[in-house]
Structure 1
């Protein structure tokens, strides 16, 4: 099978896995909302909010797998891959809002003189169904986690749901066996605590991409050192590293070369060598270099040196 056919088959498999997982999560989400209303359980409502965010994450991954394949245009010269970042921004904000609402309501219930009395049986039944469905969704996604970044991210989302369902089940068991009504609110706080770090990390990564900061795993000084080791390179300046979306770094730089590179017509070879250096050592697919004669930076604007 040729590379194009393999990529198409892989993309179809990715979309199929994401679609199946999304269907499962959406179904359980509706079940948990209904269960929270019937049982009065805040833990179920918290887990439903968690799953709503995960459903959005799966939709983003599904859309990204389709949109990312669209070719660049004169209007969108880098293509449409940043749609994933905008979706992640919405997801991070939703996660934060859900965590705050759940935490505030849990604290209100814990400090209120009027105790809420969630029904443990509906809570246990719905949380158990949710756990089973989340495990199935996790297994559906697990087969592709080694080859697809989208699937790996989605798998982490669903794994968080598994933990939320377990917290809700524990609350239901405690309620049923001891009558300790605060267990539901405590479980809700635990679920909110699971949500907050993920939301913070997600928003941090979004801000890093949107502000065009260098990717967290990128060592700009090390890249510059590697480029300077290329035969014929005299200096490297005006270096910029950013990302179109997570896992898609872009690099540009002005590279000063000795006169022999230009006199012998080896500029094409130099560009190939520089591009290969970034691709092989730093996994940068998209790089742009401006080749200049040695000392050219002295005549440039200081901001570009």
Structure 2
């Protein structure tokens, strides 16, 4: 007989939990919401300063940096909105609530970054062949303001960048802004010393080049979440091995591990209990043992295990057998039909 069992983020005793047990839980990005707000405030200040500086100094590099930071600020704003949406309760239509809003936010940010990177590179090429007079001293002054702001923001986001994809996106954005500010300072120095106005175009192009690889990296990570890939840092073979090592388990199949959003991993598996296990291992104790192992070993808080008889897989649908590695459905003679389907 198949037994469905689900543990939500709070663990708990054996028994079924209602769908949406994770909805409203704190995601990794939510924990750093206050710091994201501070960084956003810093960015708004720097954007205004660099936009004014670009107008006063006729610097394309400062304009590129201001636009870059404006896109980054919009990304941080989107990330903040996503953290609020992620805490909304589940509904009958969305059993996990809005936890995956963070992924949508990252995708929007990637599209903005691709567009901005292309625009800056186009303008930089034009400025290289048609250089304008640039006020090097003013460029340095405004770029230093941006560099200081980036340094403060990096410090604020450092810890969260290891826990949340959205915070990591913000961290990388700030880092690239800092590099861009440093490049602008160098171009300003060259302008002051040698009157070389084309250095401004090079600095702008450097900002554009910095943007694109970062956008590709974030897009790759977001796609892995969308495609329900195994989260980074978790090996499916290791999860399977730990389950099979658990006392009372005969075998495991239909094992799936994926991420709902960054920092929130979930899993499901079909378990065949060992009928000859010693020590009086009840189904409830086995489920609790498996859940504890997944939480402590892999940080997976939301686990769903189905306990079933050894021949139950033969009664599953063809897609289920394919996913379990059984491509053909052998005939079953005798025995009791467990009468369970997915």
* Superposition TM-score, scaled by structure 2 size: 0.77
Superposed, which structure 2 residues align to 1:214-229 within 5 Å? 214-229=230-245
Task: Please point out which of 75, 85, 90 is paired with 1:72.
Answer: 90
Q: CA 1:233–1:207 in 2, change beyond 3 Å: closer, same or farther?
A: same
Runs of 4+ with >6 A deviation: 10-13
SS in 1 for 2:272: strand
Gaps of 5+ in 1: 1-6
Gaps of 5+ in 2: 1-24, 325-342
- Within the alignment, does 1:107 sit opposite 2:125 as a pair? yes
Question: Contact (CA 8 Å) 2:137, 2:188: kept in 1 or not?
Answer: yes
Question: Contact (CA 8 Å) 1:256, 1:295: kept in 2 or not?
Answer: no
How far apart are the structure 2 equivalents of 1:203 and 1:193?
Answer: 16
Higher-RCO chain (CA-CA 8 Å, sequence separation at least 6) = 2
Question: Contact (CA 8 Å) 1:14, 1:148: kept in 2 or not?
Answer: no
| Number of aligned positions between the proteins | 293
- Within the alignment, does 1:180 sit opposite 2:196 as a pair? yes
RMSD value, Cα: 2.7
Task: Please point out which of 22, 47, 59 is paired with 1:29.
Answer: 47
SS in 2 for 1:48: helix
Q: How far off its partner does 1:18 sit?
A: 2.2
- Within the alignment, does 1:160 sit opposite 2:160 as a pair? no
Q: How far off its partner does 1:135 sit?
A: 2.6
Task: Provide Cα deviations, 1:257-294, integer angstroms capped at 9, x if missing partner.
Answer: 23357xx6811111111111211111111111111112
Q: CA 1:241–1:146 in 2, change beyond 3 Å: closer, same or farther?
A: closer
Tell me which residue corresponds to 1:277.
293
How far apart are the structure 1 equivalents of 2:33 and 2:243?
Answer: 38
How far apart are the structure 2 equivalents of 1:251 and 1:275?
Answer: 10
* Superposition TM-score, scaled by structure 1 size: 0.85
Tell me which residue corresponds to 2:134.
118
Question: Which has more radius of gyration?
Answer: 2
Question: Contact (CA 8 Å) 1:258, 1:293: kept in 2 or not?
Answer: no
- Within the alignment, does 1:88 sit opposite 2:97 as a pair? no
